[in-house]
Chain A
Amino acid sequence: MEPNLFKYIWRHSRREQLAILGTVLLSLPFYFLALDLPKSIVNRGIQGQGFAGPDSTQPFLAIDLPFGESITGAPVTLFNGISLTQPQYLLALSFAFLVMVAINGGFKFVINTNKGRMGERMLRRLRYELTDRVLRFTIPQVRKVKQAEMATMIKDEVEPLGGFIGDAFIAPAFLGGQAITAMAFILLQSVWLGSVAATIVLVQAFFIPRLRRPILRLGRERQITARRLAGRVAEIIDGATEVHAHDASNLERADMAARLGRIFDIRYEIFRRKFFVKFLNNFLAQLTPFVFYAAGGLLAIYGHLDIGALVAVIAAYKDLPGPIKEMIDWDQQRNDVQIKYEQVIEQFQPGDILDPTCQDPEADVGPPLSGKIVIQAVGLVDDSNNKVLDSISFQVDVAEHTALIGADDCGKDRLAMMLCGLERPSAGKIMIGERDVTQLPQAVTGRRLSYVGPETYLFAQSVRDNLLYGLKHRPVREAARPDAPDRASWIAEATRAGNPTLDFAADWVDYAAAGVDGPEALTERLIDVLSLVEMEDDVYRFGLVGTVDPDANTDVAEAILKARAALPERLAAVDAQSLVVRFDPERYNGNATLAENLLFGTPRKPDFAGHALAENPLMTQVLDEAGLIDDMLHMGVSITRTMVEIFADLPPGHPFFDQFSFIDADSLPEYRGLLTKVDRVGEGALGAAESLALRRLPFAYVEARHRLGLIDEAIEQKAVKARRLFADRLATVDPDAVAIYRPDAYNAAASLQDNILFGRLAYGQAKADEIVGGVMTDMLDALGLRKTVIEAGLSYEVGVGGKRLSANQRQRIGLARALLKQPDMLVVNDALAALDDATQTRLVGKVLDDRRGRGVIWAQQRPRAGDRFDRVIVLRSGRLMEQGSYAELNKPGSALSGLVAAE
């Protein structure tokens, strides 16, 4: 990248800079006119200069040819103007002033927006270039960087550049012009005073930047310490488990305090120096007037200088410090951003970076790989000069299944990465067909080959998107866009900022690579691949607890409603109908909380969920109308009475409070107080807050579970009435707040499982969840809905880094992703290590069966797995020990048999 910020800015925004400069120049005459007009308004408009009397007129807007008199000897009038009386003249001038104000404002607006746009464009370009470089870092390079530091640089550190770019050339041109004009004027009035002023300006220009140098150095340090701080914060978060597990939080606190202390010191030093420079600068600026007043005054007294000239010099000097100060500020800013820029791009200039052509989306994928993969004397030396691999040579057929077997440190993992071009050998060559792997573009290595490592990364997307990630190399189908013209302007703007114009919203999925013809067939294929890695059941379970959008998937919703209708019959068939108590709009459900009975739906907004419901005004109003307020208060008192009684003797920290109590240990005394008050003076005497505290308790009450006998038939009826009132009111006030349960409608806010169950499991029935779960699974299979549920499961969000999945599930998905694109050669690098031995063996077998006739290279530690492969290559400490079939090698004395014995 261009190391000089100014060259970088000039190269990419030359035309815009010049256009803005032009606009600035164009605006100057209007600016001076606007400054000049008030004088004319006062002198001529108000005071009537040039007007003989109230009725006399003056020409307005008369235009003489500039320098006409000196050229032709007489004024050349181009336009005679309009004759106006004094009041007319005043109004005309005033309106002219208004017009000038508007014009100047307009110029300012145009200039500023253009400057802003140019700055943003450059910032966009710079950020894009930085991320582009990150994408081109080689894998060994990427391993060395801290992601949070990179993110801070791209996001925060380049930010001030955007603001500066607009002023990079215009400000010095403009301010410099102003300062030179003022200086020239002073020199014209008095060479002597002028040279005094010029000397002081030169002193300023010489000393101030020098004094600022340490500030710049500190600024650089500040930038680096702040960046490292960001890196450490990210590390603490990534390592949260270790921090807690080793009680190391205080070490981290101390580290943070030390870093923040350092940043404080730096920043304080910067402030101290900055304000000292400011003080000095102001002092020097005021030194000039001192010289003018004292020396100039003395000269005037002794008659060496005329007073008029002195006054003119002092007046002209007023215009000088402003631009100079701004110039000095600009220079400071320039240094600052230049340093920031250098600091940032330095981090993005590793010695080893991929050539852009390597990742060209349109690069030729070439024919399917065939022939031999030849590994020729391949060696690898790591950063600390250790030999990781030592002249390894072997050949495998592209259609062959090969196992790379060796202990953890044998170098097989690096070899596997090299085979896919993810790492470069320090010596030797890897040839696929006729081509050197290091020379192949990623269009070949990323499509014809498929690599999956032990720490497969899953992106914070759905399972489906993670699986499809391996198929998205470039847009294949345009996105359906109703707003095509916007797209054109988007492309134009992206081009101006040097960004690529690939459409993120387009369909990027390479269906052909997955072996299907379009989106419809793809889901089948995804399910096949998932079942190959034995992940189908997991995704099925995700589907059951997941939600689907019924508007986008009307058939799914319909099918689920069918399942809902069929459930009672299915349960009855195994004599299990009593295990589920379904939701009935006309009935109270004793197995659900009172809150759920009142809402009779799934809350979508926080003020209708959990604790907030007790304070929700709509709910309170409805409870009041249904006559439930007093009942709930009684229930609250009853619950309190029971809780106070049974939890009285437990110490406050006792786990029962968390598990079984409506009231936490800290609030128990308060509730005990409320109870005493109720017993003494009755419920009516409670204050509003006290009453609410009691009324909030029964919301979580489940009759069948808590068995306090609080809900009798009368209350059930009132609750059902309140439920109806609530639904009616809600429909008019905020229909989106709660997804109401309706027997014949799909509930978009509830999970598939809840939609089918449409009720609650009955409490106290042994093994209810097991039995009902089994019935539901059988029923979904019988109704042909298994696929629908899995499809819903594909939308399951895996969380950041796939954290919502187990390590084992992550590895299965990683393998499925690599299999989905049907590569010519699948390279697996110990990618199932999180699974148990039996499952690993089974999956290896399944994958090899699936890939019969197409190549697999599988690096792994378990030597016995080798017997499923055509060829086994045994590595030890970076050397190739032996190769051949498993049967050939597994003989007494061989390296393989040694590994087998050690297992």
Chain B
Amino acid sequence: MSIEQEVEILRKIPLFANIDAAKLKLMCFASERLTFKQGQSLFDQGDSADSAYIIVAGTADVIVTNGTPSVVAKVAANDIVGEIAILCDVPRTATVTATSELIVLKITKDLFFRMVTDFPEMGVEVMRVLAHRLENTTADLMKARAAVRS
């Protein structure tokens, strides 16, 4: 896959929708594209974090182990994973394991912060994604509380 094709794929990801082609090309150029086999994990819960991953193709499970491992989310193309740990400098909060052949763009912490600083549009996009997640989590929490009470 050439860099031009990668740029086309990235443009379809909402996070990068508003960023112009030259910047995306820079990001592709500066980041590593990695292929994970089915069953390989991108990172494990508790690891120290150095990068976030944008899924270009394939699917993966997000697994949190709290005594017993449980799949808390499924991610697929266009999703971003692993950004929490690099944003807040905490160890990985979950394990992400490929459930099919998975192609990702590995964005190092350094690159991620640089992109966000250099292109504030991207920062806003990241906020939006995180806000969505928070909203979902809050909704889940409400449901869970309701279930406990009844």
Contact = CB atoms under 8 A, between A and B. Distances in A.
Contacts of A575: 37
B34 A646 contact: no
B3 A709 contact: yes
Nearest to A647: B26
A46 interface: no
Interface residues on B, range: 20 to 34
B99 interface: no
Contacts of B23: 646, 649
Contact of B6 (A646, A649, A707): A707
A656 interface: yes
Contact of B34 (A650, A656, A706, A764): A764
A440 B25 CA distance: 75
B39 to A, nearest CB: 10
A883 B114 CA distance: 62
Interface string A624-656: 000000000000000000100111111000011
B35 A766 contact: yes
Contacts of A709: 2-4
A79 interface: no
A659 interface: yes
Contact of A656 (B6, B22, B25, B26): B26
Given A707-B2, A708-B3, A765 B30 contact: no
Given A642-B25, A649-B22, A707 B3 contact: yes
Given A707-B6, A709-B3, A765-B35, A659 B26 contact: no
Interface string A241-279: 000000000000000000000000000000000000000
B109 interface: no
A660 B29 contact: yes
Nearest to B105: A764
A700 to B, nearest CB: 14
Given A642-B25, A645-B25, A660 B30 contact: yes
B40 interface: yes
Contacts of A481: none
Contacts of A649: 22-23
A178 B58 CA distance: 103
A144 interface: no
B3 A767 contact: no
A488 B36 CA distance: 69
Interface string B30-44: 101111110010100
A224 B92 CA distance: 63
B2 A659 contact: no
Interface string A742-773: 00000000000000000000011111000000
B6 A765 contact: no
Contacts of A650: 26, 118
B1 interface: yes
Contacts of A765: 34-35
B30 A766 contact: no
A488 to B, nearest CB: 65
A200 B26 CA distance: 89
Given A707-B6, A709-B2, A709-B4, A767 B40 contact: yes
Contacts of A764: 32-35
Contact of B26 (A646, A708, A766, A767): A646
Interface in B49-94: none
Contacts of B25: 642, 645-646
Contacts of B1: 707
Contacts of A642: 3, 25, 29
Contacts of B28: 707
Contact of A707 (B22, B33, B40): B33
Interface in A532-587: 575
A586 to B, nearest CB: 25
A755 B114 CA distance: 39
Contacts of B40: 766-767
Contacts of B37: 575, 766
Contacts of B114: 655-656
A18 B4 CA distance: 89
A708 B22 contact: no
Contacts of B30: 656, 659-660
A764 B56 CA distance: 13
Given A707-B6, A708-B3, A709-B4, A646 B29 contact: yes
A828 B42 CA distance: 46
Interface in A664-714: 706-709
B32 to A, nearest CB: 7
B101 to A, nearest CB: 11
Contacts of A648: 22
Interface string A765-786: 1110000000000000000000
Contact of A708 (B2, B32, B34, B35): B2
A764 B102 CA distance: 11
A645 B22 contact: yes
Nearest to A575: B37
Interface in A703-728: 706-709
Interface in A5-28: none
B140 to A, nearest CB: 31
A620 to B, nearest CB: 28
A757 B36 CA distance: 22
A38 to B, nearest CB: 86
B142 to A, nearest CB: 38
A355 B72 CA distance: 79
Most B CB atoms within 10 A — which of A645, A648, A764?
Answer: A764
A801 B146 CA distance: 69
A766 B34 contact: yes
A648 B20 CA distance: 13
A766 B2 contact: no
Contacts of A767: 40
Contacts of B118: 650
A645 B33 CA distance: 21
Given A709-B2, A709-B4, A766 B22 contact: no
B78 to A, nearest CB: 19
Nearest to B31: A660
A815 B90 CA distance: 39
A649 B23 CA distance: 9
A603 B32 CA distance: 28
Q: Which 5 A-B pairs have the closest CB atoms?
A: A709-B2, A646-B26, A707-B3, A766-B36, A766-B34
Interface of B: 1-4, 6, 22-23, 25-26, 28-30, 32-37, 40, 42, 114, 118
27 contacts: A642-B3, A645-B25, A646-B23, A646-B25, A646-B26, A646-B29, A650-B118, A656-B30, A656-B114, A659-B30, A660-B29, A660-B30, A706-B3, A707-B1, A707-B3, A707-B6, A707-B28, A707-B33, A708-B3, A709-B2, A709-B3, A763-B33, A764-B32, A764-B34, A764-B35, A766-B35, A766-B42
Interface of A: 575, 642, 645-650, 655-656, 659-660, 706-709, 763-767
Given A707-B3, A766-B37, 16 more contacts: A642-B3, A642-B29, A646-B22, A647-B26, A655-B114, A656-B26, A656-B30, A656-B114, A659-B30, A660-B29, A707-B6, A709-B2, A709-B4, A764-B35, A766-B42, A767-B40
